Structures are given as structure tokens and as C-alpha cells.
Chain A
């Protein structure tokens, strides 16, 4: 087994960030390249959060993949209107950097994306915008209703957070087409292989997308074991 902790600055981010990686061994067998599971963590969590909550080394061993865990602060993994370009970071800057250093494959069929909570939202958006980035996506426990106008999504602190990420006009067609999961799902032309885990909102998204790709699966999952169970489910699903 091997675990790597990174601290540094990776463009286009301008701040120091952290990445945690786990591999089945220090080097891939026979001078080959590792497949990669890109793992997007939850809101406000550091890059090793999922590794601390689950057995990430065992996941790497069982799948034979390098797992690359990143953090996204409070960004929704978006190119923020008032903040940093987190979407470009996770889909371009980070993969480019990791591939320039370590023996990992850049082929779409050798790459997978899993996200939990805010990371689940990030994984979903990558699947919608850049479906060829990876062979399969796991989107778990995301708040797909983030643009809803209900009580939960209307508090002052919530609106401040949303405007920081998406700008002042949260109802503009441009923002909704680009960022609202339900609008994205309705307009999606290419839908990759996806596992969606979560509550009723996740089920509604999955219902829309499953009409466009038979390789889409929904798993009802909430509660304190959801992270562990969704990772296990994704491990089986991505095969």
C-alpha cells in the first residue's frame, strides 16, 4: 500500500490546496499505469476526510486504482463568480498535474469520478458537462435541489453562499442551464454511466437521466453510513 499527501498550489487555483492519494502499491505492476478514481469530498472538508471516514487504502487495493481525493472548500466545485475556478481545477488543472508527475492513465476508460455531498454535485456536473472525462460517475448524497426556493434554500446565509458561487441572479437562464442539476439533466444529450445515490431529489434526477442512458442506476441512500455504502456501491457499479 502507499498513501501520498500533497500540499501546494495547482493552477488555476491560486491558494495552497491539499490532495490525498492512495495506491495498491508504491509503483504499478510491470511498469504500467494506474487507473484513477477521482474523489471529490464534501463541503468544507479537507482532502483526507474521505480517507479518514472510510478504508480508502482497501478501496485502492480492491480496485487496483489510484484514488485521488481532493477538497473544494465551499465552492460546489464550480468556477465561482466570487472565488476560485474549482471546476477547471478538478477537470483540468488537477488531472493535468497528477498525470505529469505520477504513472497514471489519461484514457477515459481508465478514469472514474466519485463525489459525496458537495462532491456528489461536482461529480454530477462533470458527468453532464464533460461526459468523456471518465468511464463512470458516482454522485452521492448531493443536494440536487440547491436552486429550489423553499425555506431550506432561502436563509440569508444560504443565499450569501449561493451568490458567492453563482452570482447575484440565481434565476437567470444562463445560471440555471449551466448549474441547476434538473435543468442540466433535462437538456443533457450525452449521459455517461452513472450511479446516483441519495434521497427523493436524487431519485427525480435519476428518473430523468435514465431515459437517456440505460447504464444509469439509482440507489436510495441516506443516513450516517451513506458514504461507506455509496463508495461500496460505486466500486461494484464501475466494473
Chain B
């Protein structure tokens, strides 16, 4: 793939932001795009370094665009960077810079690793008309619930989650309240992206993801899910990536 690293003055951050774009060699523009969101406190390089996601994408003719979300928690932090607005800035501007990238819904997919899956489902619920498919790997999709676990001493996260999200009450009914927003989308008759959620059988995120799967399915939303052998790491996620992409890209019935 052709690799571009873009550093620019971000209006949202009030400083420099960064994203990468990978263009496939085996497809003709306009390229379908996989928007790839890294895990907490990482950067765009993380998923590239530890997985074969670029190979899977190129085999399917997908370009990959991966923002380095500041602090990587995909929210406009209570005390910190505007990480969610930055990702949306990249989402808006990258196709205007790279004119070969499609902005069509049917050509647009989201994939998020760990906390990146929160950003993935958050974008999918806020902009269901923008994406055809979205998948998260071992992700705190329902961050309101995750914060409530933290508040009751049942989560391993630290002060950085308070800095980012404030509290479960503060995050409830915001753009980050994914479950509520998915429910609102359904009530508004919006067509949701194809959704997928995968995790490992020894993954600390497994209980949260099992809960989210049950909630989403109880809403009547089809959710593709897979449980791979392993923990919260790329050894677990990588073998599931290609299959998930195939599911998201399947022709709709």
C-alpha cells in the first residue's frame, strides 16, 4: 500500500494533529475506506504495527485512514483534548485532501480496537447515514456503564477515565451514550450500519461486550459477534479481522 502520514494544524485541537492514509495498489479510485481507530493512549501506528489489517484491507481493495486520536478515548474530554471532534475533523477533511477517497455510505467502514471500538460505535450511532459497517474489538461500547463500574470500584481504569468522561451521569444522554443513541436511531427509523463486536475468551472486556451484545440484540439490532481464543491483545483480534471485514462488506440481502 502507498503510505501517507499527514501532520496538520488542527482547528479542533488548537495545535498539530496527525493521521495516516494507506491507498491500495489493487483497486481503482474512488477507494472504499476503512476508518481505523486505535486503542486508548495509542496512535495510528499501533494497529499497523501489531496486526495485518493493512494486508486484509488491500486484499479487499480498501484504503485505510487512521487518525491519531489524542489520548485515544474518542471523546471531547472533560479535562483534556477534544479527541472525538478531532476524529470528526479528519473524517470531514481527509476525503477533501485525498480526492481519491469515497465518502459514500456504501464505501465507508469503521474498525476500532479496544477503546477505538467505543469511538467506532459512537460514530456509527451518531452518523448511521455515513457508514455501511462498523466493528469493534474488545471495546467498551457502553462507556456510561463502564464509568459506573469504575465508580463502584469494579473496573481497573484510572483517573484518566474520569478526566476524559467525567462520570457515568455526565456521559449519559450525550453523543457518547451509544446504547441510547442506537435506540433513538431505531425510533427515528434510521438505517443502521452493519455492526460487529469481537473479543477474546480471556479478555477483561469480555463481560462488558457480552452485556452489550445482549442489549443490542434485545433492541432488535443484528450484531455479528465472535469470541476468539485469547486475551485483550492483537494475537486475539488479528485472526478475526478478515472475517469481520468480509461480513461488513457482504452484499446486503
Contacts and interface: CB of A to CB of B under 8 A. Distances in A.
B7 to A, nearest CB: 5
B190 interface: no
Contact of A27 (B2, B3, B25, B97): B97
Nearest to B29: A100
Interface residues of A, number: 18
A7 interface: yes
B93 interface: yes
Contact of A9 (B2, B7, B8): B2
A5 B4 contact: yes
Contacts of A158: none
A10 B7 CA distance: 22
Given A100-B100, A101-B100, A102-B98, A27 B5 contact: no
Contacts of A6: 2-4
A73 interface: no
A1 interface: yes
Interface residues of B, number: 18
A14 B97 CA distance: 26
B96 A27 contact: yes
B1 interface: yes
B93 A101 contact: no
Contacts of B219: none
A8 B22 CA distance: 10
B9 A2 contact: yes
Contact of B2 (A3, A8, A26, A102): A8
B1 A27 contact: no
A2 B2 CA distance: 19
Contacts of A27: 93, 96-97
A49 B31 CA distance: 31
A7 B54 CA distance: 14
Interface string B4-27: 111111000000000000010100
A78 B7 CA distance: 32
Contacts of A100: 29, 99-100
A131 interface: no
A31 B99 CA distance: 12
A8 B5 CA distance: 12
A101 B5 contact: no
Interface string A1-25: 1111111111000000000000001
Question: Can you list the 7 inter-chain pairs with the closest CB atoms, starting with the nearest?
Answer: A8-B2, A2-B8, A26-B8, A5-B5, A7-B3, A3-B7, A4-B6
Given A102-B97, A103-B97, 10 more contacts: A1-B8, A3-B8, A10-B2, A26-B9, A27-B93, A31-B96, A100-B99, A100-B100, A101-B23, A102-B98
